A and B are shown apart, each in its own frame.
Chain A
Amino acid sequence: MFDSPDKLALGLVTGIAFGFLLQKGRVAKYEVILGQLLLKDWTVVKVMGTAVVVGSVGVYTLVEGGWASLEVKPLLYGGVISGAVLFGIGMALLGYCPGTSVAACGEGRRDAMVGVLGMLTGAGLFVALHSMMQPIIQGMGNDGKPTLPEVLGISPWAVVAILVAAGILAYWLTSGRTGWRKPADLSGSTHQRAI
């Protein structure tokens, strides 16, 4: 029922850092999430894209050194595709994703608090209907837990290098253009120099 106390404490500390960053990144705000979905504010893509690029370098280094193992989720086509469609529809309606809903509650947002109650209800519904959902989840086949480098038959480092290059290119192409950077970003840049 419970993980060991040190593991629980580690989860809490990691979560505090995660929530702090989500709030400082302004992604716990309805306007920013909807702004992204309406293709007017690219904060969400910038945060997620940078996290993926930076994260991939370190995590593959840890795996290579034997300090961690990959935790890849199964490629159950039915579950992933139907789940992604429902997820997208629900997220646009709520205006927060699961992590940012919880962060938005910390910020005090009342609609996010009700959204979290909805999320608990959705989770309860999934638990209740778990067996009935299996034909949908498993229905379109299960391809195990492949990664892109395995499917492409190349070294993971080649894929990581492509991601890093794509990230740098995207930054270079967009950072100079007006309209892509909002006033809030400019204050963020000031901060970048501060540290």
Chain B
Amino acid sequence: MSNPLTQISWSPYVVGAAIGILSWFSFATADHPLGITSAFEDTAALAGKAAIPSLEETHPYYAEKAKEGDSPKIGWEWMLVVGVFAGAWLSAALSGDRTRMTVPPSWKTRFGASPVKRLAAAFVGGAVMMFGARLAQGCTSGHGISGALQLAVSSWLFVIVMFPAAIGMAFLLYGNKGTQHV
């Protein structure tokens, strides 16, 4: 049998179960659920403070967060995000699944080969998605996996609203005809 580390893909059930077990590990060792987006908020807040030091006094965000005992920092979750990049790189490098793709094939079929168009959509999509994640205080990891497995009502509400919104948007983008290409 071939080495599992060099295989391009594993069963989604094996991966899902392993992520579930990883969440036990993160609760047991760091008392922390798996989540991604608060590290982005912290990075933006720290960058703002570094670029314009007076912001810390003049912008209400910093005072409000300090009052909550939740000042922006480089913490466990920040390193988790760095690790996700490194782990995915390692997995793709071991299996030869690395790519330099800019325009995914189904996007190309539907919207053309223009990299500018694809990258503009990716930038705007990323910004809107992150703004939404911070309004809701979680993402597909923080709410969708970690919150749902804790049986949190807020997280189940997030999932129940988020997936139909995403599905609706995907059908708006691709239409019924476009779905044949994905």
Contact = CB atoms under 8 A, between A and B. Distances in A.
Interface of A: 1-3, 7-31, 34-35, 37-41, 43, 46-59, 62, 67-77, 79-95, 97-112, 114-128, 130-131, 133, 136-137, 143, 145-149, 151, 156, 159-160, 171, 184-185, 187-195
Given A3-B76, A107-B92, A189-B11, A22 B99 contact: no
- Chain B, interface size category, equals 35 or more
Contacts of B1: 190, 193-194
6 contacts: A16-B90, A34-B170, A47-B15, A76-B137, A80-B135, A149-B151
Nearest to B130: A122
Given A110-B119, A123-B134, A95 B125 contact: yes
Nearest to B165: A88
Given A50-B12, A195-B4, A94 B122 contact: yes
A56 B28 contact: no
Nearest to B178: A38
A98 B139 contact: yes
A194 B83 CA distance: 27
Contacts of A53: 20, 149
A15 B153 contact: no
A94 B121 contact: yes
B60 A131 contact: yes
B66 interface: no
A72 B97 contact: no
Contact of B30 (A10, A57, A94): A10
A59 B23 contact: yes
B104 interface: yes
A109 to B, nearest CB: 5
